[in-house]
Amino acid sequence: MLEVNEDLAHEECPRYFTLEDYEGGVARWCPGCGDLAVLTAVQRICRDEQLAPEKVVAVSGIGCSSRFPHYMNTYGFHGLHGRALPVACGVKARRPDLTVWVATGDGDCCSIGAGHWVHAVRYNMDMTVLLLDNAIYGLTKNQTSPTTPIGVATNTHPGGALLPPLNPTSSTLGFTNVSFVAQTVDWNPAHLYATLQAAYQHRGFSFVRILQRCPTYTAGVFDEYQRDPSHLVVLEHDDGIPVDPALDRIFKNRLVHDPSDMGEARRLAEHTDPLPIGLVFRDPARPLYEQTTYQGLDMTREQRNDALNQELDRFLV
């Protein structure tokens, strides 16, 4: 009679995740939209890092970019306009075991969500934030956004945008307790992937501004950078983002930049020609607010009820 080793009989096979394990619904972005490249990069990172889909959550607000959770076969939360970051902070506060990705746009983050943007950077909770910056309100059909360049015609400014655009990178560097800021472009998959992977691996609030093409409303806004790579400069450093040697023939401009140098980071962030791409700033020593919010997670239900009753007793008259 065949004897079965009970230990072997109950041993579970290790799980291995493929790209298909992270693919949700069919993306309904316009053909040629840069959001598609960002989605693919995030799914590749999840696969390469072997993140269990049930341990990943994608959070978004409102906008074209904010359809992101629908296309990830993970947990997701599609929130209100401008509210992606407080939702993500709430998730991370009580579920520290989850990997949190936040997809937001130049309108969602930098306009109605600007107040949350400031404080989420300050909290420095461990999440990766993707600012998909296409310089327009795309979902609501072509209104000026905070990052629309001067002179670009929109439905709200048919004669061209009137005010200087907000710079999300330099703005983020001005917020208290900032710990990771990077820039990349959607049309170079290798650099996009390397940048997002470095952001994921940083413990803290990782802010990545992605120049993202909108083929419908701002089709030409990044043409200069895309057609002529000499208008971009790749940031290099031993503590920066590793650059694939295959990119040497594409990006001729290189600059050695120490990402721990805040003064130089702020100076570089103001550049638009050439535009720096890569790791602009990183400080892993910044405090994380989640180290406070995690307290009490190991309490039993009885302990929580007792603590709540003790707190309520303080207000008895």
**Res 278: pLDDT:** 98
Q: At what angle do helices 84-94 and 114-123 cross, to 10 degrees?
A: 30
| pLDDT tens-digit series, residues 126-169 | 999 999 999 999 999 999 999 999 999 999 999 999 999 999 99
The model's confidence at residue 293, banded by pLDDT at 50, 70 and 90, is confident
User: What is the DSSP code (8-state) at residue 106?
Assistant: H
Tell me the backbone φ, ψ of residue 212, rounded to 5 degrees. Answer: -125, 125
Q: Which amino acid is at 191?
A: H
Closest CA to 112 of 143, 75, 90: 143
Closest CA to 82 of 119, 116, 35: 116
| pLDDT tens-digit series, residues 103-127 | 999 999 999 999 999 999 999 999 9
**Res 3: pLDDT:** 57
**Res 95: pLDDT:** 93
CA pair distance 138, 146, nearest whole angstrom: 13
Does the structure show a pLDDT above 80 at 186? yes
Does the structure show a pLDDT above 80 at 96? yes
Structural tokens at position 1: 């009679």
**Res 71: pLDDT:** 98
| pLDDT tens-digit series, residues 241-268 | 998 888 889 999 999 999 999 999 999 9
Q: At what angle do helices 189-201 and 35-48 cross, to 10 degrees?
A: 50
Does the structure show a pLDDT above 90 at 2? no
**Res 204: pLDDT:** 98
| pLDDT tens-digit series, residues 196-207 | 999 999 999 999
Q: What is the DSSP track for 271-308?
A: --SSEEEEEEEE-TTS--THHHHTTTTT--HHHHHHHH
Decide if 251 contacts 224 (C-beta within 8 A): no
CA distances, 210 to each of 14, 16, 280 (Å): 35, 30, 13
User: To 5 degrees, how large is the angle CA 238–CA 243–CA 246?
Assistant: 145
Q: How large is the average pLDDT for residues 28-34?
A: 95
Does the structure show a pLDDT above 70 at 10? no
Does the structure show a pLDDT above 80 at 32? yes
The model's confidence at residue 66, banded by pLDDT at 50, 70 and 90, is very high
Closest CA to 279 of 227, 189, 216, 208: 208
What's the CATH number for 15-287? Answer: 3.40.50.970
Where are the chain's structural domains?
15-287
